[in-house]
Amino acid sequence: MTDPTQATAVELATALSAGEVSAREVVDAHLERIAAVDGIVAHGDVWNAKPAEELTPDQPHAFLAVTAAAARAHADDVDARRAAGEPLGPLAGVPLALKDVLTMRGAPTTCGSRMLEGWEPPYDATVTERLRAADVVVLGKTNMDEFAMGSSTENSAFGGTRNPWDLDRVPGGSSGGSASAVAGLLAPLAIGTDTGGSIRQPAALTGLVGVKPTYGTMSRYGLVAFASSLDQAGPFARTVEDAARLQSVTWGHDPRDATSVPGEVPDLLAGLQDGVAGLKVGVVRELQGEGYEPGVELVFAAALERLAGLGAEIVEVSLPHASYGLPAYYLIAPSEASSNLARFDGVRYGLRVDAPTAEEMNAATRAAGFGPEVKRRIMIGTHALSSGYYDAYYLQASKVRTLIAEDFRSAFEQVDVLVSPTSPSVAFRFGDKTADPLAMYRNDVATVPASLAGIPALSLPAGLAAAPDDPTTSLPVGLQLMAPLKRDDLMYRAAWAFEQATGFAALPTGPRAVSRSVTTQEVR
């Protein structure tokens, strides 16, 4: 195997089981590339990212911490057990990047916040545990918008992450570190979390497959909560099959999560290659048009033609309340956040700023530990839940949520899957939307309806479009596929057929793309 960092997870798994490469060689190749390009101080058992002010413009800053020693030890263990003839899982020895919102022992979990800087969790998230049980080797923890609040990863307290397709642009967010790691060939797989689009939008902006599984099918145990009724972990990968394999080893009921859905989850691989001939594909009327960039609309129109060419029946459907998704989301998510983040009170974990009374200590700690966007959302949520406003804001938004879920149920009586663009825009430049919070929130317009309904949704690359502010730069555009509750399998099946017909190579190209070779000197 010439360069393991350019291989897909399935290619790596095949080479590993054939003995063509060892897990240690695969892990070392990725660690070398991370050390060379990402802006990491490659020293000690856990490598830390450099402080933001020391990073250079060619460093993606995808990882906050790299668990190098633990990853090497795990890889050696996989190799030893393989040599001994032990049965291993289908992804054994394949490396992965984990969003820093999921707990893992042996390294800090910061959630991109000064509030938790240096905090080491005393337990593993269920997702982390299942990755370990599947012998997927965790390379480290990835950068993110603080407490997963944002759509560009610019809200990380530790500095932003760069898009491997154009290092002057954002990778989307909030799971921007995970997206940048996979698109930048620092890991073949990553786990992110998606509350209103935080996996799908960065996947779209970095040319990857990114999936928000059905709500309740990926355990939230050990996922630091932002909005509990919406948060869901899910895979990033360079191919649909890689994503399906990663979801297969991490999802399913968990008794430690009271919101986990009981019962079996569907087999994502059995019908993966069945094609879309005869499937009814609904185009959501409300999730296109005004506010979507012309380049995005062109690629979306071509995607519909491609699906039709594969034998899918394309019909237009309406989700009458979809346009209320974004306002409802920006009441529900901040309300839940204001409640969840009350736990950061300077008592049990993280930062404390001393003050004479408990209330002053709480308020001073939270003022110092939270960044501007987290404060903004806590303020919106606290107001929306406060006496006199609860009915008009939180309760009304939760009722609109019911109507949106009913819209989807009606639509799925007519069609098998729904499609829309994932994001209204391609990757934008740093600072373009930070001055206006509402402009940033509008990135989520196409992704929040599925979040509110709890249905599975996936983004995969549909093609490239010229950047509106720079016609010489071509950037990825994502196609969003949505399916009924617990029909993630149907969504993957449609995605696989589309991917095969599209032939999109998920490798960054362009004048400001991250270098594919390992050494720092050759970057840019």
Which residues belong to the active site? 99, 174, 198
Whole-angstrom Cα distance, residue 397 to residue 82? Answer: 53
Residue 110 or 206: which CB sits closer to other proteins? 110
User: What minimum distance in Å lies between the beta carbon of 12 and other proteins?
Assistant: 35
Residue 60 or 121: which CB sits closer to other proteins? 121
Whole-angstrom Cα distance, residue 134 to residue 184? Answer: 24
Residue 69 or 367: which CB sits closer to other proteins? 367
User: What minimum distance in Å lies between the beta carbon of 516 and other proteins?
Assistant: 40
Whole-angstrom Cα distance, residue 207 to residue 80? Answer: 35
Closest CA to 177 of 12, 54, 40, 337: 40
Closest CA to 274 of 494, 491, 481: 494
Which residues, listed in sequence order, are joined to residue 463 by a DSSP beta bridge? 477
**Which two tokens mark 228?**
């509990």
User: What minimum distance in Å lies between the beta carbon of 414 and other proteins?
Assistant: 20
**Which two tokens mark 334?**
């901040």
Secondary structure of residue 296 in the 3-state scheme:
helix
Question: Rounded to the nearest 10 degrees, how much is the dihedral formed by the CA atoms of 403, 405, 410, 416?
Answer: 160
Residue 262 or 471: which CB sits closer to other proteins? 262
DSSP letters spanning 414-479: H-SEEEEES-SSS--BTTSSTT-HHHHHGGGTTTHHHHHHT--EEEEEEEEEEETTEEEEEEEEEE
Q: In which element (H, E) is residue 64 found?
A: strand 63-66
Closest CA to 350 of 122, 117, 156, 107: 117
User: What minimum distance in Å lies between the beta carbon of 226 and other proteins?
Assistant: 16
User: What minimum distance in Å lies between the beta carbon of 327 and other proteins?
Assistant: 4
User: What minimum distance in Å lies between the beta carbon of 467 and other proteins?
Assistant: 27
| Omega within 30 of 0 (cis) for the link into 459 | no
User: What minimum distance in Å lies between the beta carbon of 269 and other proteins?
Assistant: 24
Q: How many other CB atoms sit within 10 Å of the CB of residue 338?
A: 20
Give the sign of the dihedral formed by CA 132, CA 135, CA 140, CA 144. negative
Residue 240 or 374: which CB sits closer to other proteins? 374
Residue 65 or 479: which CB sits closer to other proteins? 65
Residue 79 or 154: which CB sits closer to other proteins? 154
Give the sign of the dihedral formed by CA 179, CA 181, CA 185, CA 188. negative
**Which two tokens mark 340?**
């969840």
